[in-house]
């Protein structure tokens, strides 16, 4: 992934923030919406695109665009920084390849411990019954 190329491909849009405001909030567009076209990106290789499509399919539109919004701050510039940071964190986490799990056999001591605890529990429950005379 080439961050400089990807950064140039991002599109930003300033929107009026939702929620209660006041005199100033109704006039200023401080919310920032980020749009990234995954299919036409030159900063990602084809294998990276496939991996991102598979991992982030729920966050993508039907056209393959990734949409993120940020309205945490009152400042448009701060919101833009935050949404860029969140975008790159999302991409990096989607590109991480997880190690395959190796199957292991349980040790003899763990098997014995499990059987011993099962026996103790069954004895405890058996002791709850009424005694036979």
Q: Which helix (H) or strand (E) holds 78?
A: helix 76-95
- The dihedrals phi and psi of 21, each to the nearest 5 degrees, come to -135, -125
What's the pTM value of the predicted model, to 2 decimals?
Answer: 0.70
Candidates 3.40.1190.20, 3.30.160.20, 3.10.129.10, 4.10.220.20; CATH matching 3-95: 3.30.160.20
pLDDT tens readout for residues 7-34? 898 999 998 877 666 666 667 788 899 9
Number of H helices, E strands in the chain: 4, 3
Residue 22: exposed, middle, or buried by beta-carbon count in 10 A (0-12, 13-18, 19+)?
exposed
Q: Any idea where the domains of the chain sit in the sequence?
A: 3-95
- Asked if the model's pLDDT at residue 117 lies above 90, the reply is yes
């Amino acid at each position: 992934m080439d961050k400089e190329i990807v950064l140039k491909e991002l599109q930003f849009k300033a929107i009026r923030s939702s929620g209660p405001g006041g005199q100033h909030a109704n006039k200023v567009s401080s919310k920032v919406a980020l749009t990234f076209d995954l299919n036409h990106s030159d900063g990602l290789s084809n294998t990276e695109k496939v991996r991102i499509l598979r991992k982030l399919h729920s966050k993508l539109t039907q056209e393959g665009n990734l949409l993120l919004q940020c309205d945490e701050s009152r400042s448009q510039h701060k919101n833009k920084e935050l949404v860029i940071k969140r975008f790159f964190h999302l991409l990096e986490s989607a590109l991480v390849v997880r190690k395959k799990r190796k199957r292991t056999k349980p040790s003899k001591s763990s098997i014995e411990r499990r059987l011993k605890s099962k026996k103790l529990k069954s004895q405890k429950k058996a002791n709850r019954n009424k005694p036979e005379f």
